[in-house]
Structure 1
Amino acid sequence: MSGVLEGTAVIVTGAAHGLGRAYALAAAEAGAGVIVGDLRAEGVHETVDLISTAGGTAVGVVGDVVQPETAQSFVDTCLATFGRLDGLVNNAGVIFPGSSLDLSARDVRLLVDVNVTGSILCGVAAARAMRDAGTPGSIVNVSSGALQGLDDLALYGATKGATASLTYGWALEWERYGIRCNAIAPLAHTAMSDQMNIPDEHKGPDPALIAPALLHLLSARSAPLTGQILRFDGKRLGLVTPSHLTIVTERPTWSPEDVAEALAGVLAPGVAPVGLMNSPRPQWVVSD
């Protein structure tokens, strides 16, 4: 990787394995000092060792992102070690595939706590430090194609939809401080993707191949890009756009029959198919 992050310091959560480890390794190779955060101590130490062996600089912080003190510990350790904080990769997440009818209340709470609350706590702690230091920075949330709907992943997809909404809102809220907030919706073959109800050919490549998009979003080169979600599978790069009102019709008063008539008539072109696998084919632009 090129030294696009030379002299910076970034935090990567969920960095004990999979995509998080790939992001941490790539950030270090690109010149950043890296805080490797995760709940699993053994995996944290392994990632730090891999970075150190490759000549990079990393410090591990073991903690659960659902605890506010963990998010603050990531930030405090980064500032104490590197004297600065330039980026956060909000990668920590869990998944419980299966019908929503079969998930326990504990599973639901854990999905929301880790994927949504954990991202909020870490994002706010990092952005507060950037604001207080008066320096620009980059928050990169990790979303998923599941936000568009996947069979047996409705609740996981809902948490990633929340991540997308956070990205849009934080981009507006923190732009005044020079803080960019974007997201990446990666498609890579990891232990998590093996749990998903998707064909093997759609599970994606090695996580390391996703890193270039992540590095760009972390780097100053991405400015002024903010509030965007990149979909990337190592070969195909695209933008996931937020839902907007596309067709509007107006009446002075409405009846249920009027609503039915509008949906079958003037609004019909705006009724989109449901699900990631059923989404309209994007416009393909072939690059060298």
Structure 2
Amino acid sequence: MSTAVLNETKAEAAFSGQAPIFDEFYAENKIIEYKRHRVRSHFLSRLNPGSHILELNSGTGEDAIFFAENGFEVHATDISTGMQKQLREKAQSLITTGLVSTELCSFTKLEELQQRGPYDAIFSNFGGLNCTKDLDKVLASFDDLLKPGGTVTLVIISKFSLWESLLLFKGKFKTATRRWFASKGYPAHIEGNWFTCWYYKPSYLVKRMQAKYRLTGLEGLCTIVPPSYIEHFADKSPALYRKLIKLEDRFKESWPWKYWGDYFIISFQKQ
């Protein structure tokens, strides 16, 4: 078994194990609500009515269901059997009407995808693509699946996080610097299931997409607003939280803030 496949298998085990409680765990996290709103607004602004979307790392289907309920057709893929099971249970009525379809498929093996479109858009949220060191190969596989003029919107965990770096002042050196020294990946875990995460800069994607795609958007996500793992921030400091949201909305596409988020949202259009 190759290293890449082994890591995906470990990640699949980690996320499948959490599938039954995944939605409950994040349901009341206001910063996750904020992140979803930001990502969805960015993506919606680039979609035409009735677009057919290929979603990678669909998880339990929160985004697939949202887009389907807003009139889009979504083919939701994931390597996690547990996540796909949760998705099918939640989206049964949308599956019946044909607005949502599902397929167990790794984003590193999109050449094996059964429903090949071509699609109007490809979408991946919240850093699922950071589970591979071969992101270049994943990006290259989009060509056969996307229509000319189609949109790619990806949410990637960034190489540098301002908030995470500030943890140096709290003495959390390992956490504050983990992205700085992770060229060979960084070990991550969910409830004892370990896998490797790789961090990327926007320039990595731009360089590999520029021959066939045009960059149409780049935003920092949780650059000024704290990351969602800083628990209860929004509840403890609601006035400050609202101010930070206003600041991030103002500067999300500006230098250097678009490069310093916990994530970045990046979009391309196929030429």
TM-score using structure 1 length: 0.47
| Higher RCO structure, 1 or 2 (CA under 8 Å, sep 6+) | 2
TM-score with structure 2 setting the length: 0.49
Greater strand share, 1 or 2? 2
Q: Which structure has the larger Rg? A: 1
